[in-house]
Structure 1
């Protein structure tokens, strides 16, 4: 990551997600969680140091990250934490939610115009959505883990030039929380509006076009700056309505249908404290 202060602004996501790991070794689920939490904490401290222009402190934190195994060890833990044998395939939830419209999805497939899905931050080509064979899926990630996943930064992806190039469904599963600053998180959500089809072009308007959003549960239930009420307010301001949600101890899952994009509306969601306490995390979304 660059050490100049001006590089902190989220022009891309490459500063926030680690490089590919070629070989995954066994790590216990407890050790996996500990490693991921520690790495996130250090990355946030590094981002704050860069924001303050303290390059020396940022460099010191980088050395500490490397001393703990570096990004490759973190990527190994991340992959294991999301593996099927640990119940980590979030797309299983999405397929459950879409079950009422499976007949419509099959009809679309039979016409040669399948429902299009963009999976951002894809780690696998064998998840539940892929196995269903109901979608035309495009998978991207900053550091491709497999053939069939394009190495691409969503924030740098060329914009669609027509509805045909847009998507019926977008998946941001454990992606938004990797973005290192609150403004960048807001920018990512705003950018999804440019890639989703219009509701008028959807063959299943009660569900599509939609955004599947998955976050660690503490981002919503233990943040100083975010709770579910505020998340819903942000998504509503962007033009989304909630279709489905599931809250667990570890993760929160949402399916948001896009009613009408509102990128030109004056948006003013700031980083304001909602909860106090030293045990809170700093997850926040800022829309300017």
Structure 2
């Protein structure tokens, strides 16, 4: 007698989610350099957990927790970056306003007055006498005290420098010197990097003495700053730096990365650019200039064309290269003409300007543009 085999059930078997079981492990701890808070190293732990979890399996609460930690750290970094940027912007604004107040007071004391081009904040002298009143001077003195107090509350120049140093960290894109290196190489195609005769580079406003350490075999960097954050950076005011008296003391490259925009007084900004030409080898010296992008593409009074024209008037007649990035504007100018003073002496600090070559003039009268 034949016995029939029972039919297999056609119903689909229910798949039971499989959860990987992990043995207890030691949690790695890292410290956020910005906030100082400690947190678990979630990236490595998360990758291990996901690798041990079968495809299609439900996510466990541990995985969810690690994802939350990773997300929290990303949010913390974003907030930290935002706070750093806000501190830098506020310090810049205060420094600019402070310079304007001091310029108005200085103009009233020297009797020069403002010329209506931004140097004195709009206070002009008339034929009948100064329009800068005692009340206005009192207001400026009070505002100067308030500005300096707020700067101190922010941590002063030291905190500004620390924030700027954090801003050029590798986690935030690295320092801007990496754009300059290919430019230098293209301008010196015959350079022997192993000959022991390195190019001389003056790094003004240096945040780190190690920006060019990777290229030390062919670049000899001299970093200076008003408030050095490293003992290897020389404490120096660039405008007070002695002018080279021989060709051997000249530099092949001068770097002004986010320096000019920090200075609040327009006259000093121009003097910094003029002064830079006195330190470069005429005919081959390079000026590396970095500015916040809004200074070029969102200003009422400045744009790319005007900047190139102004630099040409200082002897930088060749724009070697430029690049407008997301936040910064990069420029490399070559000094083709050595600076000459009114007596025809090259390199003199007492260069005379008989008239204002570039008066303050509206170029882009559009809403939301800066000054």
- TM-score strictly above 0.5: yes
8 Å contact kept, 1:238–1:263: no
- Report the Cα distance in structure 1 between the residues aligned to 2:285 and 2:333, rounded to whole angstroms: 8
- Report the Cα distance in structure 2 between the residues aligned to 1:52 and 1:239, rounded to whole angstroms: 31
Q: 1:273 matched to which residue of 2?
A: 362
Q: Which of 103, 115, 134 in structure 1 is aligned with 2:199?
A: 115
Q: 1:48 matched to which residue of 2?
A: 100
Q: 1:192 matched to which residue of 2?
A: 276
Q: Which of 175, 182, 202 in structure 2 is aligned with 1:89?
A: 175
Unaligned runs of 5+ in 2: 1-32, 36-76, 106-139, 343-352
Q: 1:12 matched to which residue of 2?
A: none
Q: Which of 90, 113, 132 in structure 1 is aligned with 2:215?
A: 132
Aligned length: 248
- Report the Cα distance in structure 1 between the residues aligned to 2:191 and 2:315, rounded to whole angstroms: 24
Bigger Rg over Cα? 2
Q: 1:31 matched to which residue of 2?
A: 83
8 Å contact kept, 2:204–2:254: yes
- Report the Cα distance in structure 2 between the residues aligned to 1:233 and 1:156, rounded to whole angstroms: 26
Q: 1:285 matched to which residue of 2?
A: none
- 2:328 is the alignment partner of 1:239: no
- Report the Cα distance in structure 2 between the residues aligned to 1:258 and 1:51, rounded to whole angstroms: 31
Instruction: Kindly indicate whether structure 1 or structure 2 has the higher relative contact order, using CA contacts under 8 Å at least 6 residues apart.
Output: 1
Q: 1:156 to 1:262 in 2, by over 3 A?
A: closer
- 2:153 is the alignment partner of 1:153: no
Q: 1:262 to 1:159 in 2, by over 3 A?
A: closer
Runs of 4+ in 1 over 6 A off after TM superposition: none
- 2:190 is the alignment partner of 1:104: yes
Q: How well do the aligned residues superpose, as a CA RMSD in angstroms?
A: 2.1
Q: What secondary structure, in the 3-state scheme, does the structure 2 residue paired with 1:155 have?
A: helix
Q: 1:229 to 1:104 in 2, by over 3 A?
A: same
TM-score for the superposition, normalised by structure 2: 0.62
Q: 1:281 to 1:136 in 2, by over 3 A?
A: same
TM-score for the superposition, normalised by structure 1: 0.79
Instruction: For residue 263 of structure 1, report the CA deviation from its aligned partner.
Output: 3.9
